[in-house]
Amino acid sequence: MMDFCGYEKCTPKYGFGPAIRDNYVLHYIEEGKGQFIYNGKTYHLQAGDLFLLKENELLYYEADINDPWSYYWLGLSGTKVADYFKLSTLMQDGYAIAKDFEATQLIGETIKFIVTQNITKDYYSIETLQILSKIYEVLYLIAHQFPLKEASKQKSTHQLYFEARTIMDKQYGNETLNVNYIAELLGVNRSYLSTIFKEHEQMTPKDYLTKVRMNRAKQLLESSDLTVKIVALSVGYSDPLYFSKSFKKYYGYNPSEVAKVTQNTEI
C-alpha cells in the first residue's frame, strides 16, 4: 500500500515536474507557502493545507520564493487507495485548504508519525501493522474533514460497488456465487446493483466475476501442474467441460493449450 514516504524542507522556488506519477502521493504542508498547478490552474497553498499528486495525471508544484514550504509526503498505490480518496474532495480537486490550521493538524501529526516511524527492515512486523493502521487513519481523517457534497448518497453507492467487488474477488471459487446471490447478500435489487457496478467498473458484475475467474484459472494453469478439472473447481466451475468452453470463449484457446501458448509468447 505504501511505496515510500519522506520529508522535504524546500529551498526558495524549488519545484517538481511537470511530471506524471504511477501512484498517489499525498503531501501535508507543515510550514511555509507554495503553489500547486493542476488542470491548468494555479492554487496557492500554505501550512495546514494538503495536495495530492494523482496517478497518471500531469502535475507541478513549487515552493514560494520568500517563505518556501516544508512538507511530509506519503506515496500510496493500489485500487483501494483510489477508492478511499474518492470519498473526499481531495480526489476531485487535487488539493484541500484547511479552514484553520487545527482542522488538519491531526492529519499532519499522523503523517509525520508514519514518516518518522517507517520500518523498512522487516515488512512483516508489529511496527508495520501500526504504520498500516495509521495510513487508514489518515484516509479516514481526510474523508471526514473534506467530505464530498451529498457524501451520504455517494458513499452508499460507492460502498455498494466496493462490497460487491470485494465479494467477487474473495469468493470467486464458490460455484453458487452469482449476481443474484450478491444482490441478495447486499440487500438490493439485481438491476440496481448492476447499474451501480457498471458506473464504477465499466462492466457488469457478471462480466467482472467471469474476468476474475478466468484470470485466476489462467494463473493456475500457467504456474502449476493442476488438471483442468481441479482448476475448474478452484475457480467456481463444477463442470470441467463448461469451464473449458467458457475459457476458450474468453481467451480464444483451450485450457489444455495454456502451456503451449505461454511458451510461444515467451519465444
CATH at 33: 2.60.120.280
Regarding whether 181 and 98 lie in a shared domain, the answer is no
Question: Of the candidates 146, 181, 199, which is a domain's last residue?
Answer: 146
Is the residue at 151 inside a domain? no
Is the residue at 15 inside a domain? yes
Regarding whether 86 and 169 lie in a shared domain, the answer is no
- Quick one: average pLDDT of 19-40? 91
Does the structure show a pLDDT above 60 at 140?
yes
CATH number where 198 lies: 1.10.10.60
The pLDDT tens digits of the residues spanning 73-130 come to: 999 988 788 888 888 888 888 888 877 667 688 899 999 999 988 755 466 677 788 8
Q: At what angle do helices 101-117 and 126-145 cross, to 10 degrees?
A: 160
The pLDDT tens digits of the residues spanning 190-223 come to: 999 999 999 999 999 999 999 999 999 999 999 8
- Quick one: average pLDDT of 11-40? 91
Regarding whether 126 and 14 lie in a shared domain, the answer is yes
Regarding whether 249 and 134 lie in a shared domain, the answer is no
Regarding whether 179 and 106 lie in a shared domain, the answer is no
Q: What's residue 266's pLDDT?
A: 47
Is the residue at 263 inside a domain? no
Domain span at residue 162 reads 157-257
Instruction: Dig out the grid coordinates for 1 from the structure.
Output: 500500500
Regarding whether 12 and 126 lie in a shared domain, the answer is yes
Regarding whether 121 and 90 lie in a shared domain, the answer is yes
Regarding whether 168 and 127 lie in a shared domain, the answer is no
**Going by C-beta distance under 8 Å and a sequence separation of 6 or more, which residues neighbour residue 180?**
190
In terms of Cβ atoms closer than 10 Å to its own Cβ (0-12, 13-18, 19+), residue 74 is buried
- Alpha carbons 90 and 93: distance in angstroms, whole number: 5
- Averaged pLDDT score across all residues of the chain: 87
Is the residue at 262 inside a domain? no
Regarding whether 93 and 139 lie in a shared domain, the answer is yes
Element (DSSP H or E) covering residue 146: none
Question: Of the candidates 146, 173, 189, which is a domain's last residue?
Answer: 146
**Going by C-beta distance under 8 Å and a sequence separation of 6 or more, which residues neighbour residue 231?**
217, 220, 221, 243, 255
Is the residue at 164 inside a domain? yes
- Quick one: average pLDDT of 133-145? 90
